[in-house]
Structure 1
Amino acid sequence: MNAKKLIEEAHKILGEYTLSSDNYSAGSVAAALLTSQGNLYTGINIDIACGIGFCAEHSAIAQMLKYRETQIEMIVAVSSDSIRPPCGRCRELMFQIDKKNIHTKVYLSEETYMTLNELLPNRWEPRLG
Structure 2
Amino acid sequence: MDCALGTCAERSAAFQMIKNNETEIKKILTIGRNGYIYPPCGACLEMVKLINPNNRKNKFYISKDKTLNLNELMIRNWQDKEKMEKY
TM-score category of the 2 structures, normalised to the smaller one:
0.7 to 0.9
Larger radius of gyration: 1
Where in structure 2 are there 5+ consecutive unaligned residues?
A: 82-87
1:59 corresponds in structure 2 to: 12
Is residue 98 of structure 1 aligned with residue 47 of structure 2?
Answer: no
Instruction: Considering fraction of residues, name the structure with more strand.
Output: 1
Runs of at least 4 residues off by over 6 Å? none
Question: Which one of 65, 72, 75 corresponds to residue 25 of structure 2?
Answer: 72
What percent identity do the matched residue pairs reach? Answer: 38
- Per-residue CA distance 1:4-42 (angstroms, 9 max, x = gap): xxxxxxxxxxxxxxxxxxxxxxxx9xxxxxxxxxxxxxx
Q: Given the two structures, how large is their TM-score scaled by the length of structure 2?
A: 0.77
Normalising by the residue count of structure 1, what TM-score does the alignment of the two structures yield?
0.54
Unaligned runs of 5+ in 1: 1-27, 29-44
The alpha carbon displacement at 1:115 in A equals: 0.4
The aligned residue for residue 42 of structure 1 is none
Alignment of structure 1 residues 16-31 onto 2, 5 Å? none
Q: Distance in 2 between matches of 1:118 and 1:126?
A: 14
Partner residue of 2:70?
116
1:72 is paired with a residue whose SS is coil
Corresponding residue of 1:33 = none
Of structures 1 and 2, the one scoring higher in RCO (CA 8 A, sep 6+) is 2
